[in-house]
Structure 1
Amino acid sequence: MKQLYFWLLLAISLPAQASECTGAPFSASFLQPLTSDLERSADSWEATLQSIAGVGIDTLYLQWSVYGELDLSREPGISFLSIWLDQAHANGLRVNLGLVADADFGSRITDPADALAAYLAGLRERSLAAADRLKARLGDHPAFVGWYLSEEIDDRSWTHPWQVDLLREHLSSLTSLLAELSPEKPVSISTYVSGAQPPAQFERLWRALWSAAPQLHVLLQDGAGVGTVARPDFNEYALRVNNIAARTNRYWGIIVELFSQQSGPPLDDAPFSAQAAPINRMLQQLAAVEALDPGPNEVIAFSVPEYLLDPAKPGQAELLNEYRRRYCGP
């Protein structure tokens, strides 16, 4: 009760920061926490969060709480996260907390049936355990508004009916148990296409998954940063998801990628590297979103902290300057 009283006082005493970018095309952004982030000062984080809010973002998707050695659901990570959420709230930001991201997910989902079932059950158990810890400590925090499932659903791996059945069971069970834990908080997940499945098959996949987990918020990555699918082809996939959502009253969003990949899979075997996208490409991405009718419930950037605001990223200054010119006040 004392924690809840403190956060209520915080909500009253620390008003949200006003954004200069009232015409911003994005309402949300992803943020990928790193172990090194726990070492950053409160002042450094305050400046970052204020800058994020200043370009029109009001919602953050924390991509994971547990990844490798990073665990924000246990000490000292959870104390860091508590203070970080205070700062996010003070800057008018709402946060969806990611759960467990497993670096082996991409390889394990190609396992045979019994092994895949066991793997998904174990991943579910780990995510629910992390959610339990986060809920116990931060469940009443006003900045915490939803959960994010860190597993990304691709169009290559879920091709056989038995694989789809296992994924249906996984998502249905996980979303149901998270709804019992936090009834008022939605659960989101992202998906992407590589062209491995034709649009009609991808549509059938998500019809099946959404029927098993109807309350799931589905966020479709537009793939422009990697460029494995041509824009006209991607638009057909987006149209299929849009049509399912419109006909069945489902919630969905589009993730607009603000980067251009320079190296790393699937381009090559080098470490991943990327630069900020050119403004003209971003405008083309946004035009494709605007052409959808009725369109997504939200448009999410990947990611504002990394590619719009980080001066260490090549091309960032040009993208930010043009972004401010178009969407922000003088």
Structure 2
Amino acid sequence: MDSKGLTGSPLAITGTFLDEISHDIPSANWGCEDWAKDFAAMRQDGIDTVILIRAGYRDRATFPSKVLAKLHPTLIVDEDLVALFLGLAEQEGMTFFLGTYDSGDYWLQGNYQAEIDLNLAFADEVWERYGSSPAFGGWYISHEINTFDLGMMQVYEQLSQHLRCLKPLPILISPYIRGRKQFAQAISLEEHEREWDQVFARLQGKVDCVAFQDGQIDFAELPDYLAVNAALAQRYGIACWSNIESFDRDVHIKFPPIAWPKLRFKLEAAQAAGVDKLITFEYSHFLSPNSIYPAAHNLNRRYRNWVKSLSLQGSNDDPNNSDNG
């Protein structure tokens, strides 16, 4: 493996979410040295993009935000993780996307304007504190949807307009498919296509990248949904990434690292659909050699060996390769 990491295969995962403000997976309780070690591992595995999944959630924050402290006087924050992640991203040559704030309340209750107003002020604060970092290369609107929602279109539209005024960086969203692994009333492929045709028609020119989560539907259905997602995104000029979930939804505990055959299936399905980039939720817990889960260490080893074997195979098949001359 060279210093650039696993970059020789189109099946390599090149982006990951950073999930330190979570509501459904445990904290690794890492400090600065632990994060530095993991960023180095990410780079070795070919990751060039890191996405902070949310800079704050309810009463928790990744830095001591004055804006959020007005809403939550007892704000739970330890150290400035945004500064730490930006510094590590710069050190490792990565692009950092900053996730917005999720109130866990306003938008879920239909009070969309309150969610918007809070995020506008929060974005201003974020940009004032961190906008000069050379690693700050994109925004992630952290609110996740699965179908067309008029109120959420307003959230996306007003937020994206404001973020572009601060600096016209790429804007990413990561919606999910209303699949049977989460919902009793799952959406059909035809309904999904109609819904997202409406969404993309509204978000054209406002969102640059979409990374659908890939874990909510059966594996047999996944290739068809990935193909629809890629075709719709291309129609509206939006880059189509795939959010490869590296955790397993099929077991009875939340959530262990995924079984390697399932991860490989999803990687191959995403490539077959012609997506532009593979990212994961998320490396540090489920795919890292430093993970708190021993099974993730094994998954990382199998993933690395597989991508390396594909890269070597590609080199051997290249008629311009000097070894074949």
Q: TM-score range by the shorter chain?
A: 0.7 to 0.9
- Name the structure 2 match of 1:149: 141
Contact conserved, 2:21 with 2:55, CA < 8 A, in 1? no
Q: 1:60 aligns with which of 46, 50, 54?
A: 50
Structure 2 unaligned regions, length at least 5: 66-76, 180-185, 313-325
2:323 corresponds to which residue?
none
Correspondence for 1:85: 86
- Work out whether 1:250 is the aligned partner of 2:238: yes
Aligned residue among 157, 163, 177 for 1:172:
157
Give the match for residue 265 of structure 2: 284
Task: Name the counterpart of 1:99.
Answer: 100
Q: CA RMSD in A?
A: 2.7
Aligned 8 A contact 1:193 1:229 in 2: yes
For residue 327 of structure 1, what is the aligned residue in structure 2? 307
User: Aligned partners of 1:313, 1:154: CA distance in 2, in Å?
Assistant: 29
The alpha-carbon deviation at position 318 of structure 1 amounts to 2.0
Rounded to whole Å, the distance in 2 between the matches of 1:38 and 1:125 is 32
> Which residue in 2 is equivalent to 1:133?
125
2:308 aligned with 1:318, yes or no?
Answer: no
Which residue in 2 is equivalent to 1:11? none
> Given the superposition, is the C-alpha separation of residues 237 and 261 from structure 1 closer, same or farther in structure 2, using an over 3 Å criterion?
closer
Q: Tell me by how many angstroms 1:258 deviates.
A: 1.0
Task: Find the residue that maps to 1:136 and give its secondary structure.
Answer: helix
Q: What's the CA shift for 1:45?
A: 2.1
Match of 1:273 among 235, 254, 262: 254
| Matched-pair contact (CA < 8 Å) for 2:201–2:236 | no
The TM-score normalised by the length of structure 1 is 0.77
The residue matched to 2:173 in structure 1 has which SS? strand
Report how many aligned residue pairs link the two structures.
284
**CA-to-aligned-CA distance 1:283-328 (integer Å, 9 cap, x gap):** 1111111211xx2221111111111114421521321121121224
Supply the distance in 2 between the matched residues of 1:297 and 1:189 (Cα, whole angstroms): 14
Q: Say whether the 8 Å CA contact 1:175–1:213 is kept in structure 2.
A: no
Helix, strand or coil at the partner of 1:152: coil
SS at 2:178 equivalent: coil
Partner of 1:188: 172
Contact conserved, 1:167 with 1:209, CA < 8 A, in 2? no
Code of the residue aligned with 2:198 in structure 1: it is A
